[in-house]
Amino acid sequence: MREHRLKIGVSGIRGVVGEFLTPALASAFAQAFGTYVGPGRVVLGRDTRPSGQMLEHAVACGLLAAGCEVVLVGIQPTPTIQVFVSATGARGGIAITASHNPPEYNALKLFNHGGLFFNHYERGELLDLYHQSEFRHAANHEIRGVIADPDGPPRLHLDRVLAHVDAARIRARRFRVALDAVNGAASRMSCEFLRDRLGCQLDAIAVDPTRPFPRQAEPKPETLGDLAALVRDRGSDIGFGLDPDGDRLAVADESGRVLDNDDVLALVVDRVLERVPGDVVVNLTTSSVLDAVAERHGRKVHRTPVGEANVVERMQAVGAAIGGEGGNGGIIFSGVQLCRDSFTGMAFLLDRLAAGGDTVSSLAGRLPLYFRRAAQVAFQHGRLGSLIQSLEELHPEAARDRRDGLKLVWPDRWVHVRASNTEPVLRVTAEARSERQAEDLRQAVLALLAP
């Protein structure tokens, strides 16, 4: 099962640290990256995982060996690194983070000179370089140095976000905000953003980047019990839950109920489309609630295979105003940076609350009601093809989309089955206008997967 513990996907290279993702592999991959982007500055940052500092040294060595100059920004949210790359004219950037995966994982997320994930062409070229070991080896006089700049990236990022909301109106409301930053890369920056830049009365937990993740890394309703309790105990107007690299956002309403991530994306999209012209791009697993929100503004929804890089490429192609991946809490606003960004999401939600005097629950309650059910099962090579065939035979009346596994669509419901980009599992997601229909669809797929 070795191939399952190290994976190269749409965002970079990822695996369990130790036997699979090693310093030697990270250094070689970084040298291939440096060879591809060419001599010049490369931004390097990381999240708070125990393996981060070790891999940071290895990656820096690989970049230096290729003749790059390394701009070391330290512990930073992934979107902050991406903004900094695009704003400073760097040749590229690398974030050492496994995002929502467990702490034993780590990864290299790779960005081009625009701070974007590599597209399919760029990724193919880089992988060819890596597999053929065709690295540039800088001569002694070509070896450059390491520059430390931990303060520039947060300032640039937050300034970009605040340019799109009425910060003065948010500060005037003095919102009481609860925060769970999972002791991740956004721990300190999110406190500065909410308390100092937006004037919120902040009650924060898990904001110490020197400590381990206190909960499962992915922010979703079943992992955010402490945030929900904090909201209720402190009488918060809203609660925010982050993942370890600060690109995913979960939201709790004023009662402590954690919203479905698709509904969070829908609320942000609704706010953005009130101000910015353009369509919406989401992945195939994102809820149909986005279609209803976009239609309200006379806009179209475009869908892509799962993966931030896929969504961003489509956003560029259609000139979209906003996009995202609802199931994972990813919000991508083109006005800040074409990347998932929890800070943009927090800002637009507070901006909406400040403008209308609504509560989070009242805003969410006005969204169309869809029921979603999800599951994941251990991936077994060779079974996805037969599963897809069986599903198609079972439901010949449904519309089919095979761009990413299989999605079957009916007028009032859908089910999507796909292999994960980041873990050795199959993901099953079903949505319908009734709870029973959604669960029946999910169970039908799980029955086909049963041994």
Q: Which residues are catalytic?
A: 99
Which residues lie closer than 8 Å to 123 by C-beta, 6 or more apart?
10
Task: State how far the Cα of 101 lies from the Cα of 424, in Å rounded to an integer.
Answer: 12
Strand order in the sheet with 330-333: 301-304, 280-283, 322-325, 330-333
Cα-flanking dihedrals φ and ψ of residue 422, to 5°? -125, -15
Task: State how far the Cα of 273 lies from the Cα of 296, in Å rounded to an integer.
Answer: 9
Structure tokens at 421: 């980009």
Contact 183, 206 (CB under 8 A): yes
Give burial (CB, 10 Å; 0-12/13-18/19+) of 16: middle
Task: State how far the Cα of 264 lies from the Cα of 138, in Å rounded to an integer.
Answer: 47
Query: Between β-strands 322-325 and 330-333, what pairing exists: parallel, antiparallel or unpaired?
Result: antiparallel
Residue 429 exposure: Cα atoms within 13 Å on the Cβ side: 23
The amino acid present at 160, given as its one-letter code, is: R
How long a stretch of residues is the chain?
Answer: 451
Structure tokens at 277: 């012209």
Query: Between β-strands 425-432 and 413-419, what pairing exists: parallel, antiparallel or unpaired?
Result: antiparallel
